[in-house]
Amino acid sequence: MSKTFQKLKAIRGMNDILPAESFKWQQLEAQITQLLSLYGYSNIRTPILESTRLFARGIGEVTDIVEKEMYTFSMSPDKQNIDDMLTMRPEFTAGIVRAAIEHNITYDRPQRLYTMGPVFRHERPQKGRYRQFHQLSVEALGFSGADTDAELIIMLKRLWQQLGLEDIRLELNSLGQPEERLAHRAALIAYFEQHKEQLDEDAQRRLYSNPLRILDTKNPNMQTLANQAPKLFDFLGQASKAHFAEVCRRLEQAGISYTLNPRLVRGLDYYNLTVFEWVTDRLGAQGTVCGGGRYDGLCELLGGKATPAAGFGLGLERLLALLEQKESEQLNSECDVYFVHQGQAASELAAQLAEQCRDQGVRAIVHAGTSSFKSQFKRADQSGAQWAAILGESEVNEGSISLKPLRADKNGNISSQLSVPQAQLVTTLTEHLA
């Protein structure tokens, strides 16, 4: 044994999860499993390797994933026939639908299914973007109604709340039905053909293969062009519009706010009607935590009988990154409540009330000196405090104090602004901070 073994490293873009971290994974997986059981979802597990045809068909031939991100190989290198090719799943939906057809599990009733595990995409590794990453995939097979679309979204909102996550917003769109998309596609191609000189290389390539995806461009020079393009929404028929309106109505009933994003098209081409993404600004460019929608045509496309369905995929690495950020913010906060005040009387009162807070273990900072409310609030925000306690002239005269929430509480809820008698300040704060 003269030669020493050359040390190896994990494959680029594929991460080890060591014990200190895997503890957090287990915690998160347990919370997710518990939430899904509240909505009647059952676990399904499918193989990592599937026949390439499943994705080359299921996902469509022209999406980024199929075009350039799949780990595909053949066990008999002399045969490069697509029927001999295997692919490491780049997502779960196609595999789950394949399994549902193979075992005919929706023959007597619809199925609510979920799974968690690694998926593989050969894209450029960076923060929040890996080559092996993990998804929670939730699939409601055999459900055609807007009630299901809305319930999936409401369930996700509950997850953010349980995890104490704020700053995740919902974007919504409808892709209509294939015929409606076809009419829009023709209009889109005609529009882009008229402005061919403004298309970048990616857009040129997609012009005839997947023009819808051009709308999703990140190129700043193409934003105006994309914004002014014909809107798919204007091509939707009555039934598609009604479906979408019901999703929106149900979300409003559940108190969930959303933004309509006509340019939201998703990276997988089997979607129809509702599509949605949950997005955050806290993760830089990799801000999409979860994406999903309705895929009524997929089952038939994969050789099964027509089965309406909806679902979503959620990136667990990105969710964990958000949780970590929140944790470090909480640890780094300088105080629980930051007093802002105006005038001599208010300043003295703030000092006294802050002492009462500290008596009860509530960490308090009183803004030192005098400055405008605006700059005091800026400091309050920087302190990491949960609340700003405001003493202006009217509060001093009324014997009250205003409490403005600066961030969400542990459960992800942001309270409304309160006004309480000064004598009740400490108990109000301790109740809300508990």
Q: Please name the residue that has the structure tokens 């990799």.
A: 286
**What strands lie across the sheet with 400-405, from one edge to the other?**
364-366, 337-341, 387-391, 400-405, 418-421
Which of 28, 289, 302, 309 is in the footprint of ligand ATP by CB under 6 A? 289
> How many residues form the binding site for ligand ATP (CB under 6 A)?
19
Ramachandran angles phi, psi of 207, nearest 5° = -50, -45
Tokens of 426: 């400490």
Tokens of 42: 């059952």
Which of 123, 167, 171, 246 is in the footprint of ligand ATP by CB under 6 A? 123
Tokens of 114: 């979920």
Which of 315, 341, 386, 388 is in the footprint of ligand ATP by CB under 6 A? 315
Site string for ligand ATP, 74-103 (x = CB under 6 A): -----------------x------------
Least distance CB 249 / ligand ATP (angstroms) = 25
Q: Other C-beta atoms within 10 Å of 292: how many? A: 26
Is residue 308 close enough to count as binding ligand ATP by CB under 6 A?
no
Site string for ligand ATP, 25-54 (x = CB under 6 A): ------------------------------
Tokens of 388: 């700003």
**Near ligand ATP by CB under 6 A, which window of 28-36, 289-297, 332-340, 350-358?**
289-297
**What strands lie across the sheet with 71-74, from one edge to the other?**
49-51, 85-88, 71-74
Return d(Cα 151, Cα 251) in angstroms, integer. Answer: 9
Contact in structure between 14 and 129 (CB atoms under 8 Å): no
Q: What is the DSSP string of 43-62?
A: E----SEEEHHHHHHHT-SS
Q: Considering only residues 204-223, where is the footprint of ligand ATP by CB under 6 A?
A: none
Site string for ligand ATP, 349-368 (x = CB under 6 A): --------------------
Contact in structure between 387 and 336 (CB atoms under 8 Å): yes
**8-state DSSP, 133:** E
Site string for ligand ATP, 248-287 (x = CB under 6 A): -------------------x------------------x-
Which of 313, 366, 387, 422 is in the footprint of ligand ATP by CB under 6 A? 313
Site residues for ligand ATP per CB under 6 A: 91, 121, 123, 128-130, 133, 135, 267, 286, 288-291, 313-315, 317-318
